[in-house]
């Protein structure tokens, strides 16, 4: 395929998607399951890509993502609740400590910066660890952050274990898509730059990377901080999406959900993470919901169907994916029009297989 054709095809795809979103936004579908899944999918895509930057491209197995999302969500919430509503939100703490509010966009950026600052602090001791030990340490820190935010002593700031609410949300469902798209684009640019190459070098072989002049600690820290920055922004978006935020929800289970998206999409594939996050949210929130309800076929009550059965089926689906697509949907490749064109010319590689057999003879 020619380069121009590819660009044209990408533009058409983007335009179709954008048109679809605008259509949903302006129709009765706005509050439907479809719209909910799309919004949540876009937010999860951003967080999954940020996790992929760390786990897939730098090779640092970190499980702190939910913690950094939590910091992002809380920073956004605390800074944007209108002064007039603070009295009712912080009802047990005399309206709380913070008595000002800032606009939405600066608050989102600050949410990212706050998460990045925490990551820098945590990274200092933790990034000297390797593989599993790093995962355990970051998981621990995420839990500590969650506990800390619910701590009574700082409750005038964080509202303790009570909910933060009444902060501004978005009116159009395009908002999370635009923010996510910008952030993912920046991550893609980063990965394609010289720094991205250095990250990949660390993933492939630390000793060789160091011998080629890549400062391990500096680059690991960079990757960790950048990943957390975008996780923080993802957290702020999630807070806007839910219209309320409570520390209780950001458990390690949330990190596992995101890790799952990364693994299903393919470790080291941005497009894989994006596709997988929409599929994951779709399955989780929508397509498998019917399994949680009791159904009758005629007089026959379908066995097993009850609350919670969805998760059983979901686990089985994931096991099948991990068993048969060990590298995830995309492996470590990216979406390309060439691959699509090849697929339509020669679906399932039948022709090329025959050709190869012919060569052997």
Partner 1 sequence: MANTVLSIENITVQFGGVVAVNNLSMHVDEGEIVSLIGPNGAGKTTAFNAITGVYQATNGRVSFNDRVILESHPTGKMRKLYAGENADLYHKIIKNTPDKIAKLGMGRTFQNIRLFKELSVLDNVLIAKHMRLKGNLFTDTFMINYKEEKKIRQECLELLKIVDLYDLRDEVASSLPYGKQRHLEIARALATDPSLLLLDEPAAGMNPQETEELTALIRKLRDDFKLTVLLIEHHMNLVMDISDRIYVIDFGKLISTGTPDMVQKDQRVIDAYLGVAEDE
Chain residues in the site for partner 1 (CB under 8 A): 186, 189-190, 193-195, 197-198, 200-201, 204-205, 207-216, 222, 332
Assess contact for 280 and 257: CB atoms under 8 A: yes
Q: Measured from the CB atom, is 190 or 318 closer to partner 1?
A: 190
Sign of the Cα torsion 205, 207, 213, 214 reads positive
Q: Measured from the CB atom, is 213 or 303 closer to partner 1?
A: 213
Assess contact for 245 and 237: CB atoms under 8 A: no
Six-digit token pair at 155? 């409750």
Q: Measured from the CB atom, is 165 or 342 closer to partner 1?
A: 342
Of the candidates 152, 67, 153, the one whose C-alpha atom is nearest the C-alpha of residue 114 is 67
Residue 244: helix, strand or coil by DSSP? Answer: strand
Q: Measured from the CB atom, is 228 or 246 closer to partner 1?
A: 228
Assess contact for 82 and 150: CB atoms under 8 A: no
**How many residues does the structure list for the chain?**
361
Q: How far is the CB of 220 from partner 1 (least distance, A)?
A: 12
Q: How far is the CB of 361 from partner 1 (least distance, A)?
A: 24
Q: Measured from the CB atom, is 207 or 360 closer to partner 1?
A: 207
End-to-end, the C-alpha distance of the chain in Å comes to: 31
Cα 95 to Cα 158, 160, 245, 328, distances in angstroms: 11, 13, 17, 48
Q: How far is the CB of 214 from partner 1 (least distance, A)?
A: 6
Assess contact for 260 and 280: CB atoms under 8 A: yes
Q: How far is the CB of 267 from partner 1 (least distance, A)?
A: 11
Q: Measured from the CB atom, is 158 or 223 closer to partner 1?
A: 223
Q: Measured from the CB atom, is 131 or 215 closer to partner 1?
A: 215
- Establish how many alpha carbons lie within 13 A of residue 151's alpha carbon, considering only the half-sphere containing its beta carbon: 10
Of the candidates 109, 282, 280, the one whose C-alpha atom is nearest the C-alpha of residue 186 is 109
User: Looking at residue 53, what DSSP letter applies?
Assistant: I
Q: How far is the CB of 225 from partner 1 (least distance, A)?
A: 10
Q: Measured from the CB atom, is 30 or 218 closer to partner 1?
A: 218
Q: Measured from the CB atom, is 137 or 198 closer to partner 1?
A: 198
Q: How far is the CB of 359 from partner 1 (least distance, A)?
A: 18
Other C-beta atoms closer than 10 Å to the C-beta of 12 total 10
Assess contact for 180 and 93: CB atoms under 8 A: no
Q: How far is the CB of 68 from partner 1 (least distance, A)?
A: 19
Q: How far is the CB of 268 from partner 1 (least distance, A)?
A: 8
Which residues are registered as beta bridge partners of 245?
Answer: 164
> Which residue shows structure tokens 């993502």?
65
Which residues are registered as beta bridge partners of 165?
Answer: 244
Strand pairing class (300-301; 296-297) = antiparallel
Strand pairing class (244-245; 296-297) = unpaired
Q: How far is the CB of 263 from partner 1 (least distance, A)?
A: 17
């Amino acid at each position: 395929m020619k380069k121009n054709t590819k660009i044209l095809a990408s533009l058409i795809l983007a335009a179709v998607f954008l048109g679809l979103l605008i259509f949903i936004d302006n129709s009765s579908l706005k509050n439907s399951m479809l719209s909910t899944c799309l919004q949540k999918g876009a937010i999860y895509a951003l967080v999954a890509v940020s996790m992929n930057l760390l786990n897939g491209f730098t090779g640092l197995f970190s499980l702190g993502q939910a913690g950094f999302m939590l910091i992002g969500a809380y920073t956004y919430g605390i800074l944007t609740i209108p002064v007039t509503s603070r009295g009712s939100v912080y009802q047990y703490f005399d309206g709380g400590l913070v008595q000002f509010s800032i606009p939405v966009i600066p608050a989102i950026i600050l949410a990212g910066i706050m998460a990045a600052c925490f990551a820098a602090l945590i990274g200092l001791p933790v990034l000297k660890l390797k593989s599993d030990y790093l995962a355990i340490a970051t998981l621990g820190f995420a839990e500590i952050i969650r506990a800390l935010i619910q701590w009574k002593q700082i409750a005038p700031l964080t509202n303790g274990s009570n909910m933060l609410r009444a902060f501004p949300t978005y009116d159009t469902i395009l908002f999370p898509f635009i923010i996510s798209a910008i952030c993912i684009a920046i991550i893609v640019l980063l990965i394609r730059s010289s720094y991205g190459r250095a990250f990949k070098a660390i993933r492939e072989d630390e000793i060789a990377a160091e011998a080629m002049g890549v400062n391990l600690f500096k680059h690991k820290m960079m990757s960790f901080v950048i990943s957390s920055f975008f996780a923080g922004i993802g957290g702020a978006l999630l807070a806007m999406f839910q219209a309320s935020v409570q520390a209780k929800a950001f458990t390690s289970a949330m990190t596992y959900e995101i890790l799952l998206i990364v693994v299903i999409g393919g470790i080291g594939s941005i497009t894989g993470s994006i596709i997988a996050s929409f599929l994951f949210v779709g399955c989780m929130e929508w397509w498998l919901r019917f399994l949680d309800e009791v159904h009758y076929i005629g007089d026959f009550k379908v066995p097993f169907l009850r609350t919670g059965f969805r998760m059983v089926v979901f686990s089985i689906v994931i096991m099948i994916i991990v068993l048969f697509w060990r590298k995830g949907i995309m492996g470590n490749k990216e979406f390309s029009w060439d691959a699509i064109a090849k697929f339509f010319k020669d679906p399932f590689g039948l022709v090329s297989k025959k050709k190869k057999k012919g060569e052997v003879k």
